[in-house]
């Protein structure tokens, strides 16, 4: 199966993906987890570098590299499926990245990419408030990316929530870590 874990920066995507991976591996399944930007490849490294820059040109470059990064991951997954290398695939970040473009383009971009890109088997949307996300981002102690500020996080979350009715499993990550894990576990049990 193919799982996608998405949400805005600082929402807890990596922790959720790790839980899904641990669950699958505990069942004896072989799992490939890919996070975007994928810093293991040049395109992902360039994408990550452009995320630290400001301005419209930087956003255009990030978008360009992100698309190539995701397309590379899809090719890797298809090749691995053909060779029966893994049972399951997890992408951290996928189609919700369209929420970082201006609102006037966001819905169009989502529909377009949903039409042209393959559809995952299960989609998890990890949700937190912009305030909680910003605190987590700051607590990481890393350089802030261009979208990692309160105004951008608030706008991005609003846009992302527009797409939740489209077969996304909404995981509320505003409570305790254990409550979040319980929500993920409940969704994972549904797949059986």
Q: 85-106, pLDDT tens digit by residue?
A: 999 999 999 988 888 888 888 8
Q: What's the pLDDT tens digit per position in 30-78?
A: 999 999 999 999 999 999 999 999 988 988 899 899 999 999 999 999 9
CA nearest neighbour of 53 among 144, 153, 146, 147: 146
Give the distance, in angstroms, between the CA of residue 122 and the centroid of all CA atoms in the same chain.
12
How many DSSP H helices and E strands does the chain contain?
7, 5
Q: What pLDDT shows up at residue 16? A: 97
Q: What pLDDT shows up at residue 192? A: 66
CA nearest neighbour of 2 among 39, 29, 40, 26: 29
Contact by Cβ (8 Å): 90, 19: no
Q: What's the pLDDT tens digit per position in 118-143?
A: 999 999 999 999 999 999 999 999 89
Whether residue 154 has pLDDT greater than 80: yes
Q: What pLDDT shows up at residue 73? A: 97
90 strand-pairing partners: 3, 33
SS3 content of the chain, % helix, strand, coil (to 5): 55, 15, 30
Average pLDDT, the chain: 93
């Amino acid at each position: 199966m193919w799982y996608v874990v998405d949400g805005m920066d600082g929402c807890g995507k990596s922790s959720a993906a790790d839980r899904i991976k641990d669950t699958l591996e505990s069942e004896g399944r072989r799992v490939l987890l890919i996070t975007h930007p994928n810093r293991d490849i040049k395109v992902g490294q360039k994408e990550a570098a452009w995320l630290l820059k400001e301005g419209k040109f930087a956003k255009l470059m990030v978008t360009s590299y992100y698309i190539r990064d995701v397309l590379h991951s899809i090719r890797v997954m298809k090749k691995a499926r053909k060779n029966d290398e893994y049972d399951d695939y997890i992408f951290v970040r996928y189609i919700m990245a369209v929420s970082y473009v201006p609102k006037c383009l966001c819905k169009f971009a989502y529909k377009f990419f949903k039409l042209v890109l393959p559809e995952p088997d299960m989609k998890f949307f990890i949700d937190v408030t912009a305030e909680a996300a910003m605190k987590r981002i700051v607590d990481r102690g890393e350089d802030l990316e261009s979208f990692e500020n309160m105004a951008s996080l608030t706008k991005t979350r609003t846009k992302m929530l527009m797409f939740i009715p489209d077969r996304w499993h909404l995981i509320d990550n505003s409570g305790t870590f254990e409550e979040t894990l319980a929500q993920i576990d409940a969704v994972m049990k549904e797949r059986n």
